[in-house]
Amino acid sequence: MSQIAPVTETAAIFKTEAEETKPKKLEQCPETSPLLVGPLRIEFSQPVDLDEVKKQNPALQGGRFTPEDCKALQKVAVIIPFRNREEHLKYWLYYLHPILQRQQLDYGVYVIHQYGEETFNRAKLLNVGYAEALKEYDYDCFVFSDVDLIPMDDRNIYKCFGQPRHIAVSMDKFGFRLPYTQFFGGVSSLSKEQFEKINGFPNNYWGWGGEDDDIYNRIVFKGMGISRPDGTIGKCRMIRHNRDDRNEPNPQRFDRIARTRETMNSDGINSLSYKVVEIKKNTLFTEIIVDIGTPRR
């Protein structure tokens, strides 16, 4: 009687194939990404073609990106308050997506588009971005960025730190200096815990100015400090523009800033009300069109 041939070799082949198809457990990304290049040349003279930006960022879907070769240290939602700034947004997407990917972040970009022609309310839009981003993913860090600010060094990491972080510390608009010590405008980051601790941002600053000073007060009143990169790494360029219609200086801002301690526990993420008009999934970002109401007359 002929013997049946042993099947060890075939079994070994199947085993090898099974091992190959099993997803690899990724190690954590390093604290400092090896992909960073340092100072960047930032120009606004040439128009940006978004189709080209999409081709250059093939891994993006709905503005979401996750590193393939390591597990990101933070899950970051980048929130941009927006209305009538399409050209600025193109530059932001062109420059920031490659930067954020080199920083090895697990991130998503959310453009929070204020619906209608009512006076602009930056801080309320940022609150909406926080709330809506958390409906999509378990983010633990939130970067709040104006659409017209581009970092000039990719070592200025868009992530969260032990204290709330002011990222845009050295703008060309201000001669690459802080305009005043308490300045917290432009681009900043707060962890989920830090954001909840200050009850988010104020909802009642309609028009230009004041909300970033209110946010600074909230942080200080809750016993936290401000973290900043140094003035060289923290350099940013601003896209020059005229002030938008319906975003005139807020005449009530100084009175409101003086009352932060009284209002912060009742005006913020716990009192936020809005209505989502539409959510659009673009390759490069998620756009959330939102009706945030009108100022109290």
State the catalytic residue, choosing from 136, 196, 238, 248.
238
Residues forming beta bridges with residue 187, ordered by sequence position: 145
State the catalytic residue, choosing from 212, 213, 214, 267.
212
State the catalytic residue, choosing from 177, 243, 259, 261.
243
243 is catalytic: yes
CB pairs under 8 A, 24+ apart, for 196-200?
A: 196/269, 197/222, 197/224, 198/222, 198/224, 198/264, 198/268, 199/264, 199/265, 199/267, 199/268, 199/269, 199/270, 200/126, 200/127, 200/130, 200/268, 200/269, 200/270, 200/272
State the catalytic residue, choosing from 106, 211, 213, 287.
211
DSSP letter for 209, please: S
DSSP letter for 271, please: G
State the catalytic residue, choosing from 132, 146, 214, 267.
146
* Token pair for 260: 């932060």
208 is catalytic: yes
296 is catalytic: no
State the catalytic residue, choosing from 43, 52, 241, 244.
241
State the catalytic residue, choosing from 196, 208, 224, 246.
208
DSSP letter for 281, please: E
Expressed in angstroms, the distance from the first to the final Cα of the chain is 100
238 is catalytic: yes
**Computed from CA positions of residues 114, 116, 117, 121, in that sequence, does the dihedral angle turn out positive or negative?**
negative
Output the DSSP codes for 15-49. Answer: HHHHHHHSPPPPPBPPSS-TT---B-----SS---
Beta strands in 61-201 (DSSP E): 64-65, 75-82, 106-114, 141-145, 149-151, 165-166, 170-171, 187-191
What residue type is 2 in one-letter code? S
* Token pair for 223: 């016993």
The count of other CB atoms within 10 Å of the CB of residue 42 is 16
146 is catalytic: yes
206 is catalytic: no
State the catalytic residue, choosing from 92, 106, 113, 148.
148
What are the residue numbers of the active site? 146, 148, 208, 211-212, 238, 241, 243
